Amino acid sequence: MQVELWRQPELESLYPILCSIEGACRDINRLMRRISTDNLDGYQSSKGGEVGSRSVNIQGEDQKKLDVIANRIMKTALCCSGKISIVASEEEDEPCLCSSVTDNAAFTGDYAAIFDPLDGSSNIDSGLPTGTIFGVYNTPSYGSKDPQAVVRQKGNNLVVAGYCLYSASCHIVITMRTGLHCFTLDDVTGEFYLTKSNIRIPRSGPIYSFNDANADQWPSAVRYFLDDFKKERVSQREAIDNKKPSARYMGALVADIHNIIHYGGIFGYPGTTKSPNGKIRLLYEANPISLILEEAGGMSSNGFGRILDMPVSSVHLRTPVFLGSVEEVKALERYFEFHTGQKPPPPPSTPPASAASA
Ligand code: F6P
């Protein structure tokens, strides 16, 4: 991945971190391809628990075997880069100091890394796409060295954000705040080669990615928006590409976002009546993915404002997310403004049947 760095000598200090991410993604990708042959599917059993009992993470979610392995791979690789002093993983209760990971005091540096080691892990057993999401912050040279406080920075402070997609191909899509670039793993040489630079998301697109099994619990703004989107009433999109709206949902944020960046459109995981903040974690998922979208000329919102400006009050905080092409995300914000009574109405719409009870 050094090609991008050769262009920017001022980013040279990030090189060991990028190499460690590259190595970790290569290792996780290899495991993903050997799930069935090496018996890597299924749940992680809990330590010291009853036979057959499952290990759960801080969110109370059952952990897959590969969640645990991928977490260890990412953590070790990042700490061994020698540039990182703090790591925070979605799979762990709390951020920790790299010096405590292997009792090696030399594991320190000017950066902190956050990551979701295996995003979309419910896809593991069926062989569908999954991913790793990561981000790197500067550790402030002043103030607290408390790992919690250091990683609870706004997404806008990220110096690196990226994801690795494990699918038909393995791609690392990464930004160092100078555009978005894609590196693809060559299975023969084992190297990641730059395959797309300065990626741009279409200004508007036909794809909508929502788990609409939750639709009856969504805010009415989202239901009206999607109904109008399907009827092509939301933007001037047809004038841009003449493509009909189309649903795509893979249940793995990385895979759905990769698709949206390619074709344009909108990914949403709204809050529900049961979980008003939705499901996506601000620190580990929403922030890095938001920076990626903005670097590609797209937009990210929680319905009311920019995700990258949200305060991170807790490391496991969740947030509603709407991510994608500028036209669709801006339109969605207009629907929120209207339906919460804050702004003038969006373009006219007929109520969807499901919104009658809103
Ligand atoms: O947050 C984890 C995650 O697996 C995301 O990758 C994905 O977008 C979402 O959850 C899928 O959730 P659901 O199965 O509720 O649609």
Q: What is the pLDDT of residues 265-285, one digit of tens each?
A: 999 999 999 999 999 999 999
Helix (H) or strand (E) holding 208: strand 207-209
Domains contained in the chain, CATH given: 2-196 (3.30.540.10), 207-357 (3.40.190.80)
Measured from the CA of 251, which atom of ligand 1 is nearest?
A: 11
- Calpha distance 313→169 (Å, rounded): 36
CA–CA distances in Å: residue 48 to residues 54, 92, 317: 11, 18, 29
CB 222 within 8 A of CB 352: no
Q: Is 252 in the pocket of ligand 1 (CB under 6 A)?
A: yes
The overall average pLDDT reported for the chain is 88
pLDDT tens-digit series, residues 220-269: 999 999 999 999 888 766 556 678 999 999 999 999 999 999 999 999 99
Q: Which of 211, 249, 272, 282 to mutate to test the pocket of ligand 1 (most atoms within 8 A of CB)?
A: 211
Measured from the Cα of 252, ligand 1's closest atom is 6
Q: What's the angle, vertex CA 263, arms to CA 259 and CA 264, rounded to 5?
A: 100
Residue pLDDT, tens place only, 81-98 = 999 999 999 999 999 998
Atom of ligand 1 nearest to the CA of 213: 16
Query: Strand 84-89 to strand 96-97: parallel, antiparallel, or no bridges (unpaired)?
Result: antiparallel
pTM of the entire predicted model: 0.90
